[in-house]
Amino acid sequence: MDFLQIASVHKAYGTPEGTSVRALDDVTINVRNNEFLTLLGPSGCGKTTLLKCIAGFEDLDGGDLILHGRSLRAVPAHRRPFNTVFQNYALFPHMTITQNVGYGLDVACVKKPERNRRVDEALEMVRLSGFGNRRPSQLSGGQQQRVALARSLVLKPSVLLLDEPLSALDRKMREAMQMELKNLQHSVGITFIFVTHDQEEALAMSDRIAVLSQGRLQQIGSPVEIYDAPANEFVANFVGTSNLFAGKVVSRERERVVVETANGRRLASQDDRFAVGDSVKLVLRPEYLHIVGPGQGEPGCVLEGTVKDTVFVGSVMHIHVDVGFGRTVTAHHRHDRADDEPGIAAGAAVRIAYAPAAAHLIAAAGA
Amino acid sequence: MFRGFRPGKLWSALFNSYGFLFLAFLYMPLALIVVYSFNANPINMAVWTGFTLDWYATIFGGAGVEGTFDVAFTESPERIFEVVKNSFLVATTAASISTLIGTATAVALARYRFAGKRFYQALLLLPMLVPDIVLGIALLIFFVGAGFHLSLLTIVIGHVTFLSSYVFVVVSSRLAGMDTTLEQASADLGAGALTTFRRVTLPLIMPGVLGGFLLAFIISLDDVVITYFIAGVGSQTLPLLILAMMRRGLRPQITALAVVIILFSFAVATVGMLLRNRKS
Amino acid sequence: MIAGDTVRSRRRRALLLLLAPITLMLGVFFLIPLGIMVVYSFLEPGLYGGVEWNWYPYNYGRILGWPLNDYEEFDPIYLSIFLGSLKVACLTVLFSLLICYPAAFWVSRMSERRKTFVLFLIMLPFFANLLVRIYAWLLLLRPTGFINTLLQSAGLIAQPLDMLFSNFAVIVGMVYIFTPFMFLPIYANVEKLDYSLIRASQDLGATPLQTFLRVILPLTAPGIAGGSVIVFIPALGNFIVPAFLGGSKVQMTGNLIERSFLQSRDWPFGAALALLIMASVVLVLMIQFTRTARAQARGAV
């Protein structure tokens, strides 16, 4: 049985000019129990609005939220068994840490001994025992973050909603908190719905990722699915970077699908979900492209061109290659000090090859 | 922040001496009253004839001062006490009601989306912008026409109409400075609207609410013009008594009374400022 | 779905509850009285105070010269008093501006701590009772007052100067009373002023006067306009200051209104005069609102 259903949810905002903006447009997601689900998208894509709708801070214009078969539409925020970790933590500045964490228990009229026990437990869980009498302003950003987590988890919600909770932390702290959050989710066994615009964060932490853009759900799937088989151009470009070739499927034989671009360039793929004549885009991830010597590489899976420039970023070298017709392709060349580096420098002629299984096809926009 | 602005020494000196003159302009007249209030000369306050506390004694009640000045021009301590009592009664009541109304309105306009919000925002500015005398006579016409007996009650009503706006402005600015996610967090943790208001919103805007109350209190206490039109025969306030006394002539007793009023107002204003500057 | 059960309708109920008091208060005790005042200005004055419920636009005729009937006659004194009030209000605005403008720069250059303290000092006199502040100026300006006594004892003048009961006294009193009103909007504006622009102007070769006229003044214009409006409105309708500092020599429209209500008991005429004041106030506010709206529109582009 489904746990939490987000069923064709609609939400529009009026603008000062009198027009209305679709913040959420027919979004449907079946949230599973105990999963770490990430809502990923650029700012303004509707991910935070969706989170607010789930929390109950915003009313739906259409659709429904169903938890264990019961609609939540008429349930106000304070009666929903969900808790939120806010982007700015929203710790009550006039209360101590203990009072903050105990707030939800107090308003639920939990008896003092049990309240105190659970607050202590929660603080221990986030490694803040002994900080109970301090004020939020006396804690560091990371500590405030953990108080916010404890304050929500102490209520044992069925879903924990996290609104870009790591965005205010510096890089090191953020990476440490990513692991901590992931581990916490495993140990408490609560569904986490996590909002972020950071694709690396999403890939690193999630069981599943839902990619949103302009109020619409673009794709939902595991990090590997999202990365290797993006559903459309938006996902292909937003999650990681992609080289895209627009064209038509011209032949389809056994495990070999050939796409021809308008310039007559032919590229092969193993993705056989499209029929001959379909307009498609062929997606090539930069790290699946390899520099090969003359004669190497599978026929139909090779691009030839000249190196425009190279950018060394440490683990890999970004190579920008002009492959003709004004197209530039980016390849990520794994940097290895032990290898003999081939002569990759601006102006050099190179051959780039890929495995046909690495080329993914998506429907061309508007097709 | 603007440390970059470094006018020459001459300009700095000019600005500073101007500032000194500006403050002197503001405080010299008040200082003059204070000095005069201790002058024993009953005829001309500008000519110093000796130090006395007699004029204060005429306010607070003291023995043996009856013969030293023109009795006909002096209000008895009992009379002064009565109008002070009236003033405080009006100011406390009007400020309390205005604080409730103004705070409720500020919360409504800051935390809810609704059609007609702009109308309310403009409407709330009006009582502060309409000249006192216009509001005073409009209320007088209304109260007389509607059969109200002019009394302390009509004064309270009249004051609340414009004091609510002042409280609204003060509380609104406090609400605007408050992080709304705190209220969402409270709701998220299971608190209903009332609990959220009582335990999160109210404690955080309390300095604004108290500041608004004090501002309303002091404006009500000081109000002359509107009260002048809507006060009844038996409902004189302190400013109205002073107005009547000033019309009869300038007397040392008024000077002493003025000093007491200045000191009290300044004390309330100071408390108000301390409240406002307190970081939550 | 039950209508009374959604989150939205629950919030709507709370909103109605929060807005009900102010709506009642301002509706019944503010808008209705102002409306009745407008109606009264078109009614016939009763013989012994009060009104007769007859259409009677002639109250305005007495002030403006039209319309008139057999009983009411036009007296230009009312218009000249109104124009005099306008003049006094404008001069009050001008002088408070001249006094407050440099003061705002003086304060804006201070350290944060001193700034808070000096701002408090500037606001404080506002809290002293209006009458007390007028009383102080009576003590200063009257023939046997502080200034005359000082000048006479210094041998600078033989006869006391006639300062009281003049436009001068009224304007000085009003400037004193409204100083905080003018100071705050200007200060808020000056405080935000980016001094690097002044340096840029100097750097581009402008003289101090050019810098002031072409950079500083335009940038602080919103504060000047705001302060002027806030001072102009109460100055125009004032009757307490002219009553004491103007005596019988300086009459302002406020004094006429007061007298029609509390002495001659000609309420419709007083109401008509009050509407004249209101019309001027509304006009000034409208100019200010369109000005700021236009400035905002420009800023948004």
Contact C176 B218 (CB under 8 A): no
Cα–Cα nearest to B191, from C15, A54, A104, A119 = A104
Report the gap between the CA of C210 and the closest CA in chain B (Å).
16
Residues in chain B within 8 Å Cβ distance of A155: 189-190
Q: Does residue B191 belong to any structural domain of this protein?
A: yes
Contact C139 B47 (CB under 8 A): no
Q: Give the mean model confidence (pLDDT) for residues B51-61.
A: 85
pLDDT, tens only, C17-35: 999 999 999 999 999 999 9
Residues in chain B within 8 Å Cβ distance of A57: 184, 187-188
Nearest CA in chain C to B104: C18
Picking from C2, C5, C7 by the largest number of A CB atoms within 10 A of its own CB, the best residue to mutate is C7
Structural domain total, chain B: 1
Residues in chain A within 8 Å Cβ distance of B181: 86-88, 90
Contact C122 B26 (CB under 8 A): yes
Q: Kindly indicate whether the ipTM for this predicted assembly is greater than 0.95, answering yes or no.
A: no
pLDDT, tens only, B259-274: 999 999 999 999 888 8
Domains of chain A: 4-236 (3.40.50.300), 241-292+299-363 (2.40.50.100)
pLDDT of residue B1: 37
pLDDT of residue A33: 92
Would you give the end-to-end CA distance of chain C in angstroms?
45
The average confidence (pLDDT) of chain C is 89
Q: Does residue B70 belong to any structural domain of this protein?
A: no
**Beta strands across the sheet bearing A62-67:** A20-31, A4-14, A62-67, A70-71
The minimal CB distance from B190 to the residues A90, A93, A107 is found for A107
pLDDT of residue A1: 53
A338 touches chain C (CB under 8 A): no
Length of chain C: 301
The average confidence (pLDDT) of chain B is 89
B274 touches chain C (CB under 8 A): no
Contact A86 B185 (CB under 8 A): yes
Residues in chain B within 8 Å Cβ distance of C198: 5
Q: pLDDT at residue B10 above 90? A: no
The minimal CB distance from A94 to the residues B185, B192, B203 is found for B203
Q: Give the mean model confidence (pLDDT) for residues C222-248.
A: 93
B252 touches chain C (CB under 8 A): no
Confidence grade of residue B110 (pLDDT, cut at 50, 70, 90): very high
* Angle between helix C76-108 and helix B9-36 axes, rounded to 10 deg: 120
Determine if residue C227 is left, alpha or beta; phi over 0 gives left, psi from -120 to 50 gives alpha, anything else beta: alpha
Nearest CA in chain A to B190: A78
Report the gap between the CA of A58 and the closest CA in chain C (Å).
9
Cα–Cα nearest to A208, from A242, A175, A185 = A185
Which residues form the domain of B114? 77-277
Nearest CA in chain A to B205: A94
Q: What does each C-alpha distance from A152 to A77, A142, B207 come to in angstroms? A: 14, 16, 29
A62 touches chain C (CB under 8 A): no
pLDDT, tens only, C50-77: 788 889 999 999 998 888 888 888 889 9
Residues with Cβ < 8 Å from B54, sequence gap 6 or more? B40, B62, B65, B68, B69, B252
B82 touches chain C (CB under 8 A): no
pLDDT along chain A (367 residues), means of 10: 87 78 91 94 91 90 92 89 92 94 94 95 92 93 92 93 89 87 90 94 94 94 93 91 90 86 88 88 90 82 89 86 88 74 77 89 74
Q: Give the mean model confidence (pLDDT) for residues C209-230.
A: 91
How would CATH label the architecture of C76-300? Orthogonal Bundle (1.10)
Residues in chain B within 8 Å Cβ distance of C124: 266, 269
A31 touches chain B (CB under 8 A): no
The minimal CB distance from A83 to the residues B188, B193, B203 is found for B188
Query: Coil, strand, or helix at residue C43?
Result: strand
Report the gap between the CA of C111 and the closest CA in chain A (Å).
25
Residues in chain A within 8 Å Cβ distance of B195: 107
pLDDT of residue B70: 58
pLDDT of residue A367: 43
Least confident of A63-77, B43-57, C8-22: B43-57
Partner B, chain C 54-83, Cβ-Cβ below 8 Å? none
Confidence grade of residue B4 (pLDDT, cut at 50, 70, 90): very low
Q: Tell me how far apart the alpha carbons of residues C209 and C190 are, in angstroms, rounded to a whole number.
A: 17
**Chains with ≥3 Cβ pairs under 8 A against B?**
A, C
Q: Does residue B27 belong to any structural domain of this protein?
A: no
**Chains with ≥3 Cβ pairs under 8 A against C?**
A, B
Q: pLDDT at residue C221 above 80? A: yes
Confidence grade of residue B49 (pLDDT, cut at 50, 70, 90): confident
Confidence grade of residue C299 (pLDDT, cut at 50, 70, 90): low
Q: Does residue B41 belong to any structural domain of this protein?
A: no
Q: What is the count of residue pairs from A and C with beta carbons less than 8 Å apart?
A: 16
Picking from C16, C25, C202 by the largest number of B CB atoms within 10 A of its own CB, the best residue to mutate is C25
The CATH number of whichever domain residue B241 belongs to comes to 1.10.3720.10
Contact C8 A59 (CB under 8 A): yes
pLDDT of residue C1: 37
Q: Does residue B42 belong to any structural domain of this protein?
A: no
**Helix (H), strand (E), coil (C) string for chain A:** CCCEEEEEEEEEEECCCCCEEEEEEEEEEEECCCCEEEEECCCCCCHHHHHHHHHCCCCCCEEEEEECCEECCCCCHHHCCEEEECCCCCCCCCCCHHHHHHHHHHHCCCCHHHHHHHHHHHHHHCCCCCCCCCCHHHCCHHHHHHHHHHHHHCCCCCEEEEECCCCCCCHHHHHHHHHHHHHHHHHHCCEEEEEECCHHHHHHHCCEEEEEECCEEEEEECHHHHHHCCCCHHHHHHCCCCEEEEEEEEEEECCEEEEECCCCCEEEECCCCCCCCCEEEEEECHHHCEEECCCCCCCCCEEEEEEEEEEECCCEEEEEEECCCCCEEEEEEECCCCCCCCCCCCCCEEEEECCHHHCEEEECCCC
pLDDT of residue B2: 43
Least confident of B67-71, B142-146, B276-280, C24-28: B67-71
Q: Does residue B153 belong to any structural domain of this protein?
A: yes
Picking from C30, C216, C292 by the largest number of B CB atoms within 10 A of its own CB, the best residue to mutate is C30
A64 touches chain C (CB under 8 A): no
A77 touches chain C (CB under 8 A): yes
The minimal CB distance from B261 to the residues C129, C271, C277 is found for C129
A312 touches chain B (CB under 8 A): no
The minimal CB distance from B189 to the residues A88, A94, A103 is found for A103
Q: pLDDT at residue B52 above 60? A: yes
A298 touches chain C (CB under 8 A): no
Residues in chain A within 8 Å Cβ distance of C2: 74
Nearest CA in chain A to B113: A14
Residues in chain A within 8 Å Cβ distance of C10: 76
Picking from A48, A79, A85, A92 by the largest number of B CB atoms within 10 A of its own CB, the best residue to mutate is A92
The average confidence (pLDDT) of chain A is 89
Picking from B188, B202, B280 by the largest number of A CB atoms within 10 A of its own CB, the best residue to mutate is B188
Contact B184 A82 (CB under 8 A): no
Confidence grade of residue B69 (pLDDT, cut at 50, 70, 90): low
**Percentage of chain B exceeding pLDDT 90:** 66
Q: Does residue B50 belong to any structural domain of this protein?
A: no
Kindly list the domain boundaries of chain C, sorted by start residue: 1-40, 76-300
Residues in chain C within 8 Å Cβ distance of A73: 1, 6-7
Residues of B with CB under 8 A from a CB of A: 179, 181-182, 184-193, 195-196, 199-200, 203-204, 280
Q: Tell me how far apart the alpha carbons of residues B279 and A365 are, in angstroms, rounded to a whole number.
A: 54
Length of chain B: 280
Q: Does residue B56 belong to any structural domain of this protein?
A: no
Report the gap between the CA of B26 and the closest CA in chain C (Å).
7
pLDDT of residue C6: 63
